[in-house]
Amino acid sequence: MLQKMGGCVGLSLLVDRQSGRCIATSAWESEKAMHASGERVRPMQQRAAQVLGGSPTVDRWEIAFLHRDHHSGAGAGVRAIWLKIRPDQFGQAIEFYKTSVLPDIEKLEGFCSASLMIDRASGRAVSSTTYDSLDAMERNADRARSLRTLRNLGADQLDVHEFELAIAHLRVPELV
């Protein structure tokens, strides 16, 4: 139903089967399209929460950066890192991610894609890296941990979580 809505450019579902945590994402052509879908999406969010046994929270993010080496499929692994960035540092953080972090992430075995999403109003950001498989993500855990160097820009790591990519239907264009 979501993908049939005007302006929708896809969706994904991240799941952690052990903890029961899941994140459903949708992407939209524009902020206007996203806001226009709100009333029609809300019942879907509530139904999904009912089926999954949770309560939904809705966050809105700007995709500041997206690089895709190749498409991933169901069963891929996704490591998400939530950050808090000083508002005056967003521009520098995005540029640092593109020029310093991404080249190293791309070298990791099984790398598929990387993105950085930001919420300027709250000062929060989410970095996500997708790997071909959960095994590839696990094999890269130590190397990936050593790449988390955004502290130099006034960023604090709030959370790190690993997920299985259960649904992969995002058609977001690359933003480099």
pLDDT score of 151: 47
Express each pLDDT in 7-64 by its tens digit: 888 888 899 999 888 888 888 888 888 888 778 888 888 887 788 777 778 888 888 8
Task: Let me know if residue 33 belongs to a domain.
Answer: yes
Residue 63 token pair: 């995709």
Q: How confident is the model at residue 165 (pLDDT cuts 50, 70, 90)?
A: very high
Q: Which amino acid makes up residue 16?
A: D
Q: How many distinct structural domains can be found in the chain?
A: 1
DSSP state of 175: B
- In the chain, the percentage of residues whose pLDDT exceeds 90 is 28
- Please report where in the chains the tokens 């929060």 appear, as a residue: 124
Task: Let me know if residue 76 belongs to a domain.
Answer: yes
Task: Let me know if residue 11 belongs to a domain.
Answer: yes
Phi-psi region of 37 (alpha: psi -120 to 50; beta: other; left: phi over 0): alpha
How would you class 97 by CB atoms within 10 Å of its CB: exposed for 0-12, middle for 13-18, buried for 19 or more? buried
Say how far apart CA 150 and CA 75 lie, in whole Å: 29
Task: Let me know if residue 176 belongs to a domain.
Answer: no
How big is the CA angle at 7 (ends 90 and 133), to the nearest 5 degrees? 65
CA distances from 54 to 26, 41, 80, 88, 146 (A): 18, 17, 20, 35, 33
Task: Let me know if residue 123 belongs to a domain.
Answer: yes
Task: Let me know if residue 27 belongs to a domain.
Answer: yes
Say how far apart CA 48 and CA 29 lie, in whole Å: 23
Task: Let me know if residue 161 belongs to a domain.
Answer: yes
DSSP state of 12: E
Express each pLDDT in 56-93 by its tens digit: 788 888 888 889 998 887 789 999 999 998 888 888 88
Task: Let me know if residue 175 belongs to a domain.
Answer: no
Say how far apart CA 152 and CA 157 lie, in whole Å: 12
Give the domain extent around 39. Answer: 2-170
> For residue 72, what is the domain's CATH number?
3.30.70.100
pLDDT score of 161: 94
CA distances from 100 to 54, 97, 110 (A): 38, 6, 19
